[in-house]
């Protein structure tokens, strides 16, 4: 039986070692030299608004909003690069996750379902050297729906021909309830992440 196993990223596959605000502040400092806390708020508010609107690249919209609000020269693309670098540095992937995913990829179809933009998410997968384990990345912008809307899962199902569909994620409403409504087998990933991945690694 062919299984398509999809994973959430933030809070599931990726663990963040710093608060969101701290990561953004460090990225902005690298690009601008100094940061007004109001610029951090401008960036975060803008990307949240653009994500809700299914913008395919909310980070660039956030960077442009910061540049518009900042004094002096500011290049949105350079700002996006600095923010992405800061985020990658503050993201980790458990060794047991790498081992388990590698084993699963030999027999099953692995994918990502994310509300994030494609460029950001694929850059992080590549930076952590696990991008080749996943055959597809389904984004909210491409699906025309974001979790917890079950439509994003229905779109993911259309991308993969499998006998069974599984979703592994930490958000109960978005990754469990919505996935179940769309006919996926949900696996709730809880805070004991390393234990989860070690157990999964042992099973496969």
Q: Can you give the pLDDT at residue 64?
A: 95
Instruction: List C-alpha distances in Å: 7 to 101, 138, 181.
Output: 10, 10, 17
For residue 156, name the pLDDT band (cuts at 50, 70, 90): very high
Same domain, 54 and 148: no
Same domain, 74 and 175: no
**192, pLDDT greater than 90:** no
Average pLDDT, the chain: 91
Domain with 183 in it: what CATH number? 3.40.50.1000
**Structural domains counted in the chain:** 2
Which of 59, 89, 119 delimits the end of a domain?
89
Residue range(s) defining the domain that contains residue 183 = 3-15+92-203
Q: Is the dihedral of CA 51, 168, 178, 107 positive or negative?
A: positive
pLDDT digits (tens, 9 = 90+) for 3-41: 999 999 998 999 888 999 999 999 999 999 888 999 999
Same domain, 10 and 107: yes
Q: Can you give the pLDDT at residue 146?
A: 96
Q: Can you give the pLDDT at residue 71?
A: 75
pTM here? 0.90
Same domain, 138 and 150: yes
């Amino acid at each position: 039986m062919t299984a398509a196993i999809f994973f959430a990223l933030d809070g599931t596959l990726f663990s963040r070692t710093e608060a969101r605000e701290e990561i953004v502040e460090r990225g902005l400092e690298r690009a601008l030299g100094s940061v007004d806390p109001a610029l951090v708020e401008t960036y975060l508010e803008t990307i949240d608004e653009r994500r809700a609107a299914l913008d395919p690249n909310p980070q660039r919209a956030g960077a442009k909003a910061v540049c518009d609000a900042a004094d002096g020269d500011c290049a949105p693309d350079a700002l996006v690069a600095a923010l992405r670098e800061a985020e990658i540095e503050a993201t980790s992937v458990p060794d047991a996750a790498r081992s388990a995913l590698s084993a699963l990829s030999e027999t099953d179809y692995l994918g990502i379902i994310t509300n994030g933009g494609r460029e950001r998410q694929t850059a992080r997968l590549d930076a952590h050297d696990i991008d080749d384990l996943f055959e597809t990345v389904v984004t909210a912008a491409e699906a025309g729906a974001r979790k917890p809307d079950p439509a994003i899962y229905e779109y993911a199902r259309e991308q993969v021909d499998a006998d069974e569909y599984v979703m592994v994620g930490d958000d109960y409403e978005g990754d469990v309830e919505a996935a179940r409504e769309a006919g996926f087998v949900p696996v709730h990933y809880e805070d004991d992440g390393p234990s989860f991945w070690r157990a999964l690694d042992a099973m496969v």
